[in-house]
A and B are shown apart, each in its own frame.
Chain A
Amino acid sequence: MSYKLTPVALIAMALYASGACAEETGTPMFSFSGFGTLGLVHSSEDKADFTSSYFKPNGAGYSHSWSADVDSLIGGQVTANLTPQLSAILQVISEQNYDTTYRPHVEWANIKYQFTPDISIRAGRVVLPAYLVSDYRKVGYTNPWVRPPIEVYRLIPISNSDGIDASYRVRVGELINTMWGSYGKSESRHPAGGAVKAKSLWGLSNTVEYGPLTARIAYLNANVTVESVKALFDAFRQFGPAGIAMADKYDFANKPFSFLALGASYDPGSWFIMGEWGSVESRSVGGKAAAWYVSGGYRLGNVTPYVTYAQINPDNLSDPGLNVSTLPPSLAGPATSLNTALNSLLSSKPSQRTVSVGGRWDFTKNTAFKLQYDHTRIEAGSTGILINTQPGFQLGGKINMFSATIDFVF
């Protein structure tokens, strides 16, 4: 398909082309649904910000003692059932953007063709199903926690892809197996400047459901560019073969990137336990990282207390950089600055473990209130998941966070 056809244009075309042929099916042609979260977060670390997404510019801690930007969002969705086989969906979300605005963005916009109840293809902006809860990671009401465990969910911060996907469901007795594949690309603006681009973004996943048990494996692959680090590695390339070798090792320009995830959940109704493990690898400053979590909860009527343990372990958090002692004095200064900048990027790779306890209270129809306490231990040499580190911030250390949200669907 041509990328000149934006997802929105595709949907508009389908709407015009298909007219109102859905009437005879008895299902409404258009349906509107919405969801949202109002959240407040406090962090004990006041020399850096905690936030929920790689693409958010600030959060709780340094910028705000209590931040509403970390979790708050509102989303609306129109689904058009054009024929029994053909449907279109447009989902728009307003949340804190890279530039601190709440300008709405298109989260999904695609046309789906359902060949049979078990085989479908979609074209446009579709979900990037990296995780167990990828399909609805932004719909707080559907999840037990205030937010999906950040150690694991930050490995793949993007949530959608512009392209096509296909899914195929097979039923064998009580077992349901769903295979999924996609191809596309993605581009997101980052607070540090420029965009994060994923080209040739393809993925495969397989999900098995057997009664209350769900198990899943997913693999994603892309060529990723992080534009904000380009200038640094261009500068390294000025320092001869040693500088070029550094730049080749660490730059993030069209670098192969892969992701593998395994996950399972068991939810017989009155309690649940789930866990996921994920691993990313790229020959870049991002390097390698593996993360996992285990979470469980027990439903006492309308109240669901839960506990989660999560951790992320990256590879190197520092590098000696250019050998300054062999350089003439006029170049030693700039080289030292580059080494410092490189090490600052490496130390910003999260290395931490978190214990979370919380509760969800379904206090009224379609609305849940959640409280969550997180205790995070950041490993030596890492900023953890924190951003906007200020003078006086110490690498490593412990933080306590307190979050409250109201999640709703309508």
Chain B
Amino acid sequence: MNRAGFIIIGLALCLVAAEAVADVVAVVSAKNPVTTLSKSQVVDIFLGKTSRFPDGSQAVPIDQVEGSAARDEFYLKFSDKSPAQIKAHWSKIIFTGRGQPPRAVSNSIEMKKFLNENPNAIGYIEQSAVDGSVKVLLSQ
């Protein structure tokens, strides 16, 4: 088999591996009045296309750190974009001074803590990390 064949099979395996990661859900603090958001509404907040929830209140997106499985899974699931595409998206915005990417926390536990202290924030965590302090906005 040629090298291109190996690359394609390798990539296919990567995709399979990504699918196997625990499910990631978008969450807000249990104190946030927002109950449901569509996939595209969530994506627009995280990609900086809007800074408000549909009810008009401020929405502050919070990422998990670059390279974390939860982050990669979140963007793949919600926006069908790879980590490189997300990086390219933010580079487009940063290098014309139109904005900065969301602040990032190191894991799902930190995310829940941050959301609890900032009811206008929105984040994502593994399904298994969901507890009473957060509200799942969209689950598939």
Interface residues of A (CB under 8 A from B): 26-27, 31, 33, 35, 75, 77, 79, 81, 87, 89, 91, 108, 110, 112, 117, 122, 127, 135-136, 139, 141-142, 171, 174, 176, 209, 211, 268-270, 299-303, 362, 365-366, 368, 409
The listed residue (B49, B50, B91, B96) touching A127 by CB distance below 8 A is: B96
Contact sample, A vs B, 26 pairs, CB 8 Å cutoff: A27-B103, A33-B94, A33-B95, A77-B97, A117-B51, A135-B98, A136-B91, A136-B95, A139-B91, A139-B92, A141-B87, A142-B88, A142-B91, A142-B95, A174-B40, A176-B50, A269-B79, A270-B80, A300-B11, A301-B10, A301-B15, A302-B82, A302-B84, A362-B82, A365-B66, A365-B67
* Minimum distance in angstroms from A300 CB to a CB of chain B: 6
How many Å lie between the Cα of A269 and that of B43 in the bound state?
12
In the complex, the chain B residue whose C-beta lies closest to that of A269 is B80
For B97, list chain A residues within 8 Å (CB): 77, 79, 87, 89, 91, 108, 110, 112, 122
For B109, list chain A residues within 8 Å (CB): none
How many Å lie between the Cα of A159 and that of B34 in the bound state?
42
For B49, list chain A residues within 8 Å (CB): 176, 209
Q: Is the CB of A269 within 8 A of B40?
A: no
Q: Does B35 contact A (CB under 8 A)?
A: no
A31-B100, A108-B97, A299-B82 given; name 16 further pairs at CB < 8 Å.
A75-B95, A77-B97, A79-B100, A91-B95, A108-B96, A135-B92, A139-B92, A139-B95, A142-B92, A209-B49, A268-B80, A269-B79, A302-B14, A302-B84, A365-B67, A365-B83
How many Å lie between the Cα of A199 and that of B112 in the bound state?
54
How many Å lie between the Cα of A52 and that of B114 in the bound state?
47
Q: Does B133 contact A (CB under 8 A)?
A: no
* Minimum distance in angstroms from A89 CB to a CB of chain B: 4
How many Å lie between the Cα of A409 and that of B66 in the bound state?
14
How many Å lie between the Cα of A269 and that of B85 in the bound state?
8
How many Å lie between the Cα of A135 and that of B92 in the bound state?
7
In the complex, the chain B residue whose C-beta lies closest to that of A138 is B95
How many Å lie between the Cα of A400 and that of B81 in the bound state?
33
How many Å lie between the Cα of A409 and that of B14 in the bound state?
24
How many Å lie between the Cα of A303 and that of B84 in the bound state?
11
Q: Does B8 contact A (CB under 8 A)?
A: yes
How many Å lie between the Cα of A27 and that of B60 in the bound state?
12
Q: Does B1 contact A (CB under 8 A)?
A: no
Q: Does B20 contact A (CB under 8 A)?
A: no
Interface flags, B48-86, vs A, CB<8A=1, else 0: 011110000000000000110000000000011111110
Docked complex: B1-37 residues within 8 A CB-CB of A? 7-8, 10-12, 14-15
Q: Is the CB of B95 within 8 A of A135?
A: yes
Q: Is the CB of B50 within 8 A of A77?
A: no
* Minimum distance in angstroms from A295 CB to a CB of chain B: 15
How many Å lie between the Cα of A110 and that of B97 in the bound state?
9
Q: Is the CB of B94 within 8 A of A77?
A: yes
Q: Given contacts A270-B80, A301-B15, A302-B11, are A136 and B50 in contact (CB under 8 A)?
A: no
Q: Is the CB of A141 within 8 A of B52?
A: no
How many Å lie between the Cα of A117 and that of B52 in the bound state?
9
* Minimum distance in angstroms from B47 CB to a CB of chain A: 10
How many Å lie between the Cα of A205 and that of B50 in the bound state?
20
The 8 closest A-B pairs by CB, nearest first: A269-B80, A301-B11, A89-B97, A362-B84, A135-B96, A117-B51, A136-B92, A142-B88
How many Å lie between the Cα of A209 and that of B66 in the bound state?
26
For B103, list chain A residues within 8 Å (CB): 26-27
Q: Is the CB of B8 within 8 A of A300?
A: yes
* Minimum distance in angstroms from A133 CB to a CB of chain B: 8
Q: Given contacts A35-B95, A108-B97, A142-B92, are A409 and B50 in contact (CB under 8 A)?
A: no
For B50, list chain A residues within 8 Å (CB): 117, 171, 176
For A365, list chain B residues within 8 Å (CB): 66-67, 83, 87
